[in-house]
Amino acid sequence: MNFAKVDAFVAGQEKRGFPSSDLTIVKDGEVVFHKRYGYANEEKTRETSDRDMYYLYSLSKVSTCVGALRAIERGLISLDDPVAKYIPAFADVKVRRQGGEPTPAETVMTVRHLFTMTGGLNYNLFSPSIRAARDAGITDTLSIASRIAEAPLDFEPGSSYQYSLCHDVLAAVVEVASGMRFADYQQKEIFDPLGMTDTTYHMNEEQKSRLVDLYRYNGATYTAEKWVGSNGYILGPDYDSGGAGLSSTGLSYARLAAALSNGGVSTDGYVLLKPETVELMQKNQLGDHALKVFGDGRFGGYGWGLCCRTHIRPDISLSPSSPGECGWDSAANAYFLADPRRKVGIVYLTHVLGCNMGYDRYHPVIRDLVYEGLEE
């Protein structure tokens, strides 16, 4: 193995507008490369370190899906259960109709629809019902999920794909089914057993002191400007956002990539997921229309499984990763990959909002150079 090329590329990310980066590569369940780049603060007085905390944003979806899959393995939920079985507010959802008033949905929304982003939900955290709940200080995970149900769906469940708050609702389903707060469930089922000591939905003060500065990308100058704000998807101290709520260090979250890419088992023997569950997780779940909606663009050659994107057409994607490689990326340009067939995992963290070039150009380069380095 020789990762000199990917090392050099990520080292150059600072010149491309990424002030800090953290790259971890795992093979056969073990870390084979880890390095930090740049500075953790705008003033460049704090060099990056292994203990730097990043908002994971949508990388959170990977662990949420894993937690929900564990609940399926234990018989707590089923893929084809109605969401309303756990969250009664979803029993009476309506669908927006073109040129008319919303009318009752004709298709029952199921847990599978939540996994696959085919529930008809959107990503509007400012809907009147959610805003009213926040104004009243009602921001626990289940209450927000119930408020999400009050807005009309954008399409019949299962009929299309739309990136949305589906995984936030999935977290609430797991919470009800397990009888535990979602953050506590994830801690017990995933974070503690895997030794993910710096992965959390709600940072303590010491972890907050290690948070890397957040930036917004300026496409006109290819630079990043400090963003004075926080993770807006965390609606309150009692809201565990399954879709975007986690914060972590690179090495901590890489433990999840290591277990997933190692067939669902950590190197010390913890069975995160059964082999048959890992196989199911990698299978595309989208029908023809939904797959076209999802794969039209940078996701050509990919489908959506039970853990975000899944690789289905190497001839189209031109990716060196195996069919079934899965993972996701984040609002701040982080990237997660788990390839159980090759037993390869990648966690790349950075903290820059609003840079589409990161997804379209830089992530594929990092991925391809990692696989190249594995062969040297």
pLDDT in tens, 195-226: 999 999 999 999 999 999 999 999 999 999 99
Write 337-341 long-range contacts (CB < 8 A, 24+).
337/257, 337/367, 338/62, 338/257, 338/260, 338/261, 338/307, 339/261, 340/260, 340/261, 340/262, 340/263, 340/264, 340/278, 340/282
pLDDT in tens, 298-312: 899 999 999 999 999
Could you give the CA distance from residue 281 to residue 372 in angstroms, rounded to a whole number?
A: 26
Whether 163 has a pLDDT exceeding 90, the answer reads: yes
Could you give the CA distance from residue 372 to residue 9 in angstroms, rounded to a whole number?
A: 13
Given this model, what pLDDT does residue 155 score? Answer: 97
Whether 227 has a pLDDT exceeding 90, the answer reads: yes
Could you give the CA distance from residue 33 to residue 320 in angstroms, rounded to a whole number?
A: 19
Given this model, what pLDDT does residue 305 score? Answer: 98
Could you give the CA distance from residue 306 to residue 113 in angstroms, rounded to a whole number?
A: 10
pTM of the shown model? 0.97
What number of H helices and E strands is found in the chain? Answer: 15, 14
Q: Residue 95 has which token pair?
A: 């669908």
Whether 354 has a pLDDT exceeding 90, the answer reads: yes
- Please, which pLDDT band fits residue 376 given cuts at 50, 70 and 90? confident
Q: Residue 271 has which token pair?
A: 């069975």
- Three-class SS of residue 99? coil
Mean of pLDDT over the chain? 97
Could you give the CA distance from residue 337 to residue 254 in angstroms, rounded to a whole number?
A: 10
Side chain identity at residue 345, one-letter code = G
Task: Give the pLDDT mean for 19-29.
Answer: 98
Strand pairing class (309-311; 20-27): unpaired
% of the chain residues with pLDDT over 70: 100
